[in-house]
């Protein structure tokens, strides 16, 4: 499919302007190929971790919680990170874990501002 896109892109530049039907078909093949390739590009650029997102409301504040897990072959889940947003801004403790479950890094935020970073050596 990528070859079709490359060849037809070259065709657009190398055929003379009077060959409009050839250029139109090339453009059609490019668009169709890109539409078909979109799911593959999306998977390639997606997260390498399983993600669970939750939303809670405390009074008028919206709290978003994002928990990432390392992908495992078995059914066990090891947390990679925890992060919190309050009304769309970084808030509270953001924690990064290694594959053994030990804390590697902890950051504290308030109103989208980094307050403190704690790096833990293993």
Asked if 106 and 93 count as a contact pair (C-beta separation under 8 A), the reply is yes
Residue with the larger pLDDT of the pair 29 and 41: 29
pTM: 0.57
pLDDT in tens, 48-103: 778 889 999 999 999 999 999 988 767 778 899 999 999 999 999 999 999 888 99
The Cα 81–Cα 60 span in angstroms is 26
The Cα 44–Cα 3 span in angstroms is 18
Whole-number pLDDT of residue 91: 94
Residue from 87, 96, 86, 94 nearest 115 by CA:
94
């Amino acid at each position: 499919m990528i070859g079709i896109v490359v060849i037809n892109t070259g065709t657009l530049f190398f055929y003379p302007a009077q060959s409009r039907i050839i250029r139109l078909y090339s453009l059609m093949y490019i668009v169709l190929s890109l539409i078909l390739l979109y799911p593959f590009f999306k998977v390639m650029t997606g997260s390498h971790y399983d993600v669970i997102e939750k939303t809670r409301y405390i009074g008028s504040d919206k709290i978003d919680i994002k928990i990432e897990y390392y992908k495992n072959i078995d059914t066990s889940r090891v947390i990679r990170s925890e992060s919190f947003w309050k009304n769309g801004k970084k808030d509270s403790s953001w924690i990064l874990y290694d594959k053994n479950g030990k804390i590697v890094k902890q950051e504290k935020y308030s109103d989208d501002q980094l307050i403190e970073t704690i790096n833990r050596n293993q």
